[in-house]
Structure 1
Amino acid sequence: MKILEKNTQPENEVEGETPSVPMVMQWMTGQAHRHLLVSERQKFKIAIVFDHNCLEHMPAHTVCYPIVSACTNTVTLPTAHLGDYDSFKTNLQTAIKYGASFDRL
């Protein structure tokens, strides 16, 4: 049995863990499953918006997280602070894992 120091994560909650489909669906739509009926799958669309101007909205900040709106199936991805793929991936994983505080109606 491994003893964890204070403020450390257990091994099964590694920061770079790949999110599962149910995790992503729960974060984006509020439901952890995909549609079963083919007609519902064909109608289901997720809109992605890229926010290039977050510094104009909120000057002097250092990080933005993706924002989801489950009612409209829209995801807004910030781009100003994400210089490479690794920073984008970490940012998205954090938003999915702790997404309850990044969503809006």
Structure 2
Amino acid sequence: MELDPAEAELKAVLNRLRRAQGQIAGVVRMIEEGRDCEEVVTQLAAASRALDRAGFSIVATGLRRCLAEAADGGRSREDRDEMRGRLERLFLSLA
């Protein structure tokens, strides 16, 4: 399954990942500066949630695409079942 970065949903995922990247850089700076543990953990938790949401969005996009291809008859049943199984495992790895 390949992702089309032109899709609006995936643009939102990329923005979320860039935000998380900035948050992680901020966490590194906070640790280097000796900032309060609670502040660091709060920012780290926010970055973690952003990464989780990005992962779920990517898996959801794949599921939708898989279902659309199944409706169009673009894949064999075995291919669809294999793809669904892979996407389910990816989804569970995020849980």
The alignment's TM-score, normalised by the length of structure 1, stands at 0.22
Where is the helix percentage greater, Structure 1 or Structure 2? 2
The alignment's TM-score, normalised by the length of structure 2, stands at 0.23
Where is the strand percentage greater, Structure 1 or Structure 2? 1
Query: Which one has a bigger Cα radius of gyration?
Result: 2
